[in-house]
Structure 1
Amino acid sequence: MYPRSLIRNMARIHCIFFICCMAVFPTRAKVSLEVDRPWLRVQLAHRAVLECCYHTDAASVQTAWLMHGQPTDGTAVPVPVPVSDRVSSGYTTNAGVTCGTLTFAEVKLADSGLYRCWFNITGIFTPGTYLQIYEPLKKTINLSEKTKDSLLMAEGMLLFLCVLVPSAMLLRKSKQLQALQQRKAKREEENIYQGLNLDDCDKPAGLYHDLVAIVQEEIHLENP
């Protein structure tokens, strides 16, 4: 591994080189950029393809890929992407649109960063595409199919109990409330009958007998 200071100095030298190239090559053609893909998320050790598409009236346009990696001292210096057996660059053309491609056969975690195209005839940079590399989570518990089936059955039984038990409790409370209302109605009916005075019911009959006796006496007195 190279020291960080050496890598940082090399990156600055490459950046100065590209700036000098921009000053040396005047603008000789017009390049119209297409919209770049903002980001691309790829699993570790999988294939990734980055594109920078454009329209141009020039016969040939050369592009160079630069990467803005993770900043070490607060700044992210663009570094040219070297071509290797794992990383390759090329061009594709479709319906008048030319795309510069950067292909990773197998991405690594260190490949994460912002990738931009630089055009030699204009000296402009594309907005770029951020490449995000992720590593899938590994299983912490390795369960067999039989164990999974048992867990599913247990979950089903728990769900059944969660539905059955509250329903049974509600039904029981409903029956208890109905019985309580019946007992209350019966007590109210008994209280109504207890409130009646039977002596008061006999008073009209006594008055009737008294009137009959008075009438008979009056009839008896009128007879000679």
Structure 2
Amino acid sequence: MVIATIFVFCSFVVGITPVTLMADVPFVSVPLSQEAILNCCYITKDKPGTPAWVFQHSNRNMIPIPVNASDLVIIHKIQKFDESCGVLTLKAVQLNDSGLYQCSLTTTGNSILSHGTYLQVYKPLEKTLNFSESTKNGILTAEGILLLLCVVLPSATLLCKSKKVHEIEKKKMKKEEENIYQGLNLDDCCTTYDQIERSQALGPYQDVCNIMEEEEEIQLEKP
């Protein structure tokens, strides 16, 4: 019973709207004062006339208003085999032309709307500085040279500093080596050297008689 009801309902809908709408382009962005072309394509067994277009401003509360043909607005129809397309051409769009555009199809006394295309009109950014190509190339060349200098000069400065630090450390080490020998008396060094040589020459054994004689020669100081 449910399947039969759905079948009857679908047959009723097809009978009311014998038009198959094709997918529209959902969004189109066009610069200010340029041309905008919008299409709505459909397939139908009937031969309807040229589709009418309606426009709804970006404010959703506004009711769609019809789009009338003029010198700047052209409405026509093209046929592609079994597919028909309504074409809306806006010669010079303005900012207030932004909004949703839908074509209205009337077949067998019924009117349906296409899915629609949203048109956005934007104002291109203006150049603050209008330079020629040769000037731009010169600026790029100067920027490249400055960038190279910013890389080379710090590196050269660090290299020179490291070289100076190395020379200072080298001089410091040389002075420390010279300071090692300062304050030494050559006569004391010679005397110490002679004592070492004499002790090595006498050897580990000494003459007891000589020691006694040396002790006799030492005279004690009287109090």
Within 2, Cα distance between the matches of 1:201 and 1:52? Answer: 118
Contact 2:50 2:77 in 1 (8 A): no
Greater relative contact order (Cα < 8 A, sep 6+): 1
Name the counterpart of 2:199: 210
Name the counterpart of 1:119: 105
Contact 1:29 1:57 in 2 (8 A): no
Aligned partner of residue 195 in structure 2, secondary structure: helix
Name the counterpart of 2:93: 107
> Structure 2 length normalisation: TM-score?
0.64
Render the CA deviation track for 1:55-99: whole Å, top value 9, x for unaligned. Answer: 33334365321111143xx71221111111211112223354322
1:132 to 110, 114, 120: 120
What are the within-5 Å matches in structure 2 for residues 134-213 of structure 1? Answer: 134-142=122-130, 151=139, 154-186=142-174, 189-190=177-178, 203=192, 206-210=195-199, 212-213=201-202
TM superposition shift of 1:138 = 3.7
TM superposition shift of 1:211 = 5.0
1:60 to 40, 48, 51: 48
Query: Aligned pair count?
Result: 194
Render the CA deviation track for 1:187-206: whole Å, top value 9, x for unaligned. Answer: 55456667999868975752
Structure 1 gap segments, 5+ residues each? 1-25
Which one has the largest radius of gyration? Answer: 2
CA 27–117 in structure 1, closer or farther in 2 if over 3 Å, else same: farther
2:19 to 24, 31, 34: 31
Within 2, Cα distance between the matches of 1:215 and 1:54? Answer: 129
Structure 2 gap segments, 5+ residues each? 1-13, 211-223
Name the counterpart of 1:81: 67
Render the CA deviation track for 1:10-42: whole Å, top value 9, x for unaligned. Answer: xxxxxxxxxxxxxxxx95443333222122122
Name the counterpart of 1:92: 78
> Structure 1 length normalisation: TM-score?
0.64
Contact 1:62 1:120 in 2 (8 A): no
Contact 1:29 1:58 in 2 (8 A): no
Aligned partner of residue 92 in structure 2, secondary structure: coil
Identity %: 41
Q: Which amino acid aligns with 1:88?
A: I
Render the CA deviation track for 1:166-214: whole Å, top value 9, x for unaligned. Answer: 2222222222332244345445545666799986897575244135347
RMSD, aligned α-carbons: 4.0
**Are 2:38 and 1:45 equivalent residues in the alignment?**
no
CA 189–33 in structure 1, closer or farther in 2 if over 3 Å, else same: farther
